Structure 1
Amino acid sequence: MAYEDPENTLLLETTKGAVVIKLRPDLAPNHVARIKELAREKFYDGVVFHRVIDGFMAQGGDPTGTGSGGSKKPDLKAEFSAEPHKRGTCSMARTANPNSANSQFYICFERAPWLDKQYTVWGEVVEGMENVDKLKRGEPVREPDSIVTMRVAADA
C-alpha cells in the first residue's frame, strides 16, 4: 500500500486488526523520533493496551503492562501544542511531571479538551479506528489486547 509519507506513517497490527497512524513531526519532532526509534527496535511488539476507558482512550506502550514502566531511554521534554485531543488523536502519557513522557501513549476515542496543551500530541489514526474501538476495556484490562507489531511504513 502506498502512503503519502511512509517515513512518518506507523503501521500497528493489533490483536483486533490493523491501525495506521500519521505521525506529526511538525507538532512534536522529538516524540515522533522516539516513537519511530522504539518501533524500529521492535520495543512495542507484544506490548498490551493496559488501560482502556470507554468514551475516553486506550493506553499502551508499557513493556511491564502495569502503567508504571517505560523504555530505558531518557524521558522526553514536553512538546505541547494547540492541537486538540479528538477521536483518533495519539498523544503521550506521562506522570504529573510534564517532562516525563517516555514510551507510553494513548489513542483518544472521543474529544478530550481537558488534555489540550497538557499532553504531547504526536499523531493521529488515519485508518483502523474501528479496530481501536474493539479493544477490551478496563483499568487494568483483564486479558488485554496488544500490539502484535508496530512498524514505520518506510521499513515495511
Structure 2
Amino acid sequence: MSMYKRMEMKRRAEARQRRRAKFDSKRISSSMEVDDSSAERKIEGESSTEESESESEAYRSSRDRCLEPVDQILSDASEEFSQLSVVKEKLEKWKKEYAASYRDAYMSLSVPAIFSPYVRLELLHWDPLRKSDDFFDMNWYLLLVWNGC
C-alpha cells in the first residue's frame, strides 16, 4: 500500500471515531435529561407526552367517519350471506351431508377466501391501541377457532 493510501485510511478512521464520539455524547446527554414533571429519564424514540383531548376527539371523529361505510357493506346482502355465522353453518351442513361433494369442490382451500371479507370487516373495528377489546373475544375468532376440528 502506498503511503498516501495509508494516511487517507488513517484520516478516515479518525473522522469516523470523531463522528461516533459526537453521536454517543449527544445520545448520552439526551438520555440524561430529566423531565421537570417526573424523575424518569427520557428514552430515545419514546415520547412521554399524552395526547390532548382535542387530538383524541379528532381521531375518534375521523375514525367514525371512516367506519360509517363499513357498516353498510353487507346491508344489502341477502339474509343467508349477511353474517359469518350463517355462512359457516351452511358450509358445515354441506360438509356433513355431502362430504364427497365438499371434498371434490376443494372447499378446504376455498373456505378462507369465503370467510375473509367477514373477518376483515370485523377487524376494521378493532382498535388495539385505544380500546381494551381482546383479539380472542372477537366474533369471527370465536366462530372459527375450532372450525374443521
TM bracket, shorter-chain basis: under 0.3
Greater fraction of residues in helix: 2
Q: TM-score, normalised by structure 2?
A: 0.22
Greater fraction of residues in strand: 1
Q: Considering Cα pairs closer than 8 Å and 6+ residues apart, tell me whether 1 or 2 has the greater RCO.
A: 1
Structure number with larger C-alpha Rg: 2
